[in-house]
Structure 1
Amino acid sequence: MSIEGIETLVVEELPNLLLVQVHLDSGIVGLGETYYGAAAVEAHLHEALAPALVGRAMPRDADELRALLTELEGYVGYLGSGAEVRALSAIDLALWDAMGQEAGLPLTELLGGRVRSDVQIYNTCAGPHYMRHPSGQKSANWGVAGEGRHEDLYGFLHHADRLAEDLLSEGVSAMKIWPFDVYAERSAGREISRADLDAGLGPLRKVRDAVGDRMRLLVELHGLWEPSVARVILEALAEFDPLWVEDPIRPDRYAELGDLRATSPVPIAAGETLGGRTAVAPLLDRRGVDVLIADLGWCGGISEVLALAERTLAAEVPLALHDCSGPVVLGASAHLAVHLPHVFIQETTRAYYSSWYPQLVTGLPDISAGRLSPGTAPGHGVRLRPDLDQSATVRRRVTGATHPLPVAR
């Protein structure tokens, strides 16, 4: 069995998302994905990776896949979460999917089985249009549309109490918000006034006043702050007992993050933007996190997360998997979350899951009563909708075939 073609798809309405299909001569099509800077990743895929992949034998197991990915690493761009790593992440996801289909096994079984049937979720309170455009992680790209079902970003900014009650009615008992970002943008993270600090704490107060400790709170700071200001925010957040505070400073400021965590009154999580093992190692060595976060589409894929899992398990640091990007990463993450023993919670974004995820794909993992469970179809189980070209504006690029390859059904 060999690799016949590499196909990339960009949905015009979702320009940050890159879908990748690996077509085998057996007719199997593996589906991968990465997010952010899709144009750069697409170029690297077709100019560097696809020529080296087309005509190659399909990896038969995890060791052969790891060897292939190592061979594909370039002279530059092999460290971090840049375009080269994101491209390899998408290929790795697609090849694991294809291996599962070839074996007739869901990803969990291919990996060796489940340690739990499902996993608790938390809801990242974005709206359906959050980070829709390639203009960067900033409030101007939040896509806030006002009131509306699952407009959760507007919700946490304006009526966090009602949002918490709504989530609890669905069985979701943990929520992540980022009420301090606008204040970081004003000062480039160098200072925060007493009034702005108090305003940023406002949504957390509303949640606690409305539902008490029935809702666990997670606070995202997006690495926007200088350490001295981040410390002030962490101390102010302590009274709300957050499950964790994410990226209080840039996670590549390893020594400073280690110092910050050593005296922080609340747990710190970080890592999703760093990439794989090599980039994350100093963060673990300096004890900079209470929870390490990884994104399957940014770190090198399933193969790299398995290696990260070994490292974090040895360091006795819990691992959490990121999802605020696309449906394939969520689908594959669901399998890993029930397979890896130290993944205790899984990020989800209900605004995506209930709106544009099902417009692109079938086979999403099940979310019920605040728990996530993967499907039982071979591979990760997520498949592009057969009518995708009719329901969205799709641009395709193919290497290894003289005509567009069919969408997997």
Structure 2
Amino acid sequence: MNKALAIARIELFKVPPRWLFVKITTKSGLIGWGEPVVEGKADTVAACVKEMEQYLIGRQANEIEDIWQVLYRGGFYRGGPILMSAISGIDQALWDIKGKHLNVPVYELLGGAVRQKMKMYCWIGGDHPEVVLEQAQEKVDAGYRAVKMNATGKMDWVSSVRETKKVVENIQLIREHFGDQLDIGLDFHGRVHKPMVKRLIDELTPYNPMFIEEPVLAENNDALKHIYSYSSIPIATGERMFSRWDFKEILHQGVVDIIQPDLSHAGGISEVRRIAAMAEAYDITLAPHCPLGPVSLASALHVDFVSANAIIQESSLGIHYNQGFDLLDFVKNPEVFDLKDGAIGLFDRPGLGVEMDEEKLREGQKIGHSWANPVWRNTDGSFAEW
């Protein structure tokens, strides 16, 4: 047993705009950073991390797989967004420590890189046609070759023809302006119910989206078999699925083209790497979900670097949620995320490769946040999916 690698202390930082970071320190002073958070449930996940301290303090930080199994299987009740997000942040931090201890980037510990750079995309606002071209141009000028936007605002279970036509306006504007030089992902965001999906696909198909994301909510994944056979547009989903067991059925059925597990929700680096390997066996691609902070993004990139089926990576830089603070504000080495020709290159620093600015984190912790997603209503007053 290496006493220097024994976990000595766990600290949490809840900072704006909507993030939660965990700092795990070993007896020798090695530090690992993770990002355990559910958007809108930061305090709940923080409480879960604190409950798990009993399984962590005194353990060897390099025993990542056994710790993961204990955290997941050690409780009678398993899975779900809170538990898996707590495990995710802890897992990220342990990989960070192990990489620093061995002085290699995490991707080297996962088998080594299969690519030298990872294609990136970021968000533009998709709710208002008047700003969509301006925002798309900003991202192109910043070096991106792909963007994603919300396909719709709030929608009734069966919407009017007028509302359906409005969905097309944004992608039509971008496609006409940029031609085929810009890839455009469309996020249905689970806002669309099954009766409307095929009608929207009919309207959107002429504009060649890169993919359609979450055409239905994860709890309605059984509808994907009807959608998948109807459309030639690649279907993506997975941000609200939290383990390999959640992904197992849709992979087996072959009703998805792109899976999007989130490194802060789906069990961290350890579990998403397993999910990626499962998807590869079904010839299905990987594009990790990442609307969060720098540790979550770095973790996703390490999985991308070693996954042959990874095709593109989401970044939250400049995303509309980041009001007042942005992806690089708590990072001492922001150059690690520099974009060149629409891609981020391999990291060369040990661990996750992100040096967090603890002084700024402590300042941000004093501000904190109480972020929650909006509650939408249809015109008749009934609840609308956000």
TM over 0.5: yes
Shift of 1:356: 1.8
Q: 1:251 to 1:288 in 2, by over 3 A?
A: farther
Higher alpha-carbon deviation: 225-234 or 350-359: 350-359
Q: 1:298 to 1:318 in 2, by over 3 A?
A: same
Q: Which runs of 5+ in 1 are unaligned?
A: 126-151, 397-409
Q: 1:270 to 1:113 in 2, by over 3 A?
A: same
Q: For 2:339, what is the secondary structure of its paired residue? A: strand
Q: For 2:351, what is the secondary structure of its paired residue? A: coil
Deviations 1:234-268 (A, max 9, x none): 12111111110000101232321122112123111
Alignment of 1:180-219 (within 5 A): 180-182=152-154, 184=155, 187=156, 190-219=157-186
* 1:137 corresponding residue in structure 2: none
Is 2:212 aligned against 1:248? Answer: no
* 1:158 corresponding residue in structure 2: 130
Alignment of 1:92-111 (within 5 A): 92-111=91-110
Q: 1:197 to 1:76 in 2, by over 3 A?
A: farther
Q: Which runs of 5+ in 2 are unaligned?
A: 369-386
Q: Are 2:317 and 2:326, in contact at CA under 8 Å, matched by a contact in 1? A: no
Shift of 1:77: 4.5
Q: Which amino acid aligns with 2:32?
A: G
Is 2:141 aligned against 1:174? Answer: no
Shift of 1:162: 3.1
Q: 1:389 to 1:211 in 2, by over 3 A?
A: closer
Shift of 1:387: 2.5
Alpha-carbon distance in 1 for matches of 2:261, 2:362: 34
Deviations 1:301-320 (A, max 9, x none): 00001111110010110011
Deviations 1:208-254 (A, max 9, x none): 22111111111001112221211111121111111100001012323
Alpha-carbon distance in 1 for matches of 2:84, 2:213: 22
Is 2:8 aligned against 1:4? Answer: yes
Alpha-carbon distance in 1 for matches of 2:266, 2:215: 20
Q: Are 2:22 and 2:34, in contact at CA under 8 Å, matched by a contact in 1? A: yes
Q: Which amino acid aligns with 1:356?
A: D
Deviations 1:28-76 (A, max 9, x none): 01000023211011111112x11221011222xxxx4222211122435
Is 2:94 aligned against 1:88? Answer: no
Alpha-carbon distance in 1 for matches of 2:207, 2:274: 34
Q: Are 1:366 and 1:374, in contact at CA under 8 Å, matched by a contact in 2? A: no
Shift of 1:325: 1.0
Deviations 1:333-366 (A, max 9, x none): 1222222111011111330599522211223432
Of the three residues 239, 245, 259, the one matched with 1:272 is 239
Misfit runs of 4+, over 6 Å: none
Deviations 1:257-303 (A, max 9, x none): 12211212311100121111001111112222111111110000000
Alpha-carbon distance in 2 for matches of 1:10, 1:208: 39
Q: Tell me the number of residue pairs that the alignment of Structure 1 and Structure 2 aligns.
A: 356
* 1:56 corresponding residue in structure 2: 59
* 1:317 corresponding residue in structure 2: 284
Alpha-carbon distance in 2 for matches of 1:53, 1:251: 32
* 2:22 corresponding residue in structure 1: 20
Shift of 1:389: 5.0
Q: Are 2:298 and 2:353, in contact at CA under 8 Å, matched by a contact in 1? A: yes
Q: Are 1:175 and 1:215, in contact at CA under 8 Å, matched by a contact in 2? A: yes
Q: Are 2:88 and 2:267, in contact at CA under 8 Å, matched by a contact in 1? A: yes
Over the matched positions of the two proteins, sequence identity in percent amounts to 26
Alignment of 1:352-367 (within 5 A): 356-363=326-333, 364-367=336-339
* 2:257 corresponding residue in structure 1: 290
Q: Which amino acid aligns with 1:325?
A: L
Alpha-carbon distance in 2 for matches of 1:360, 1:249: 35
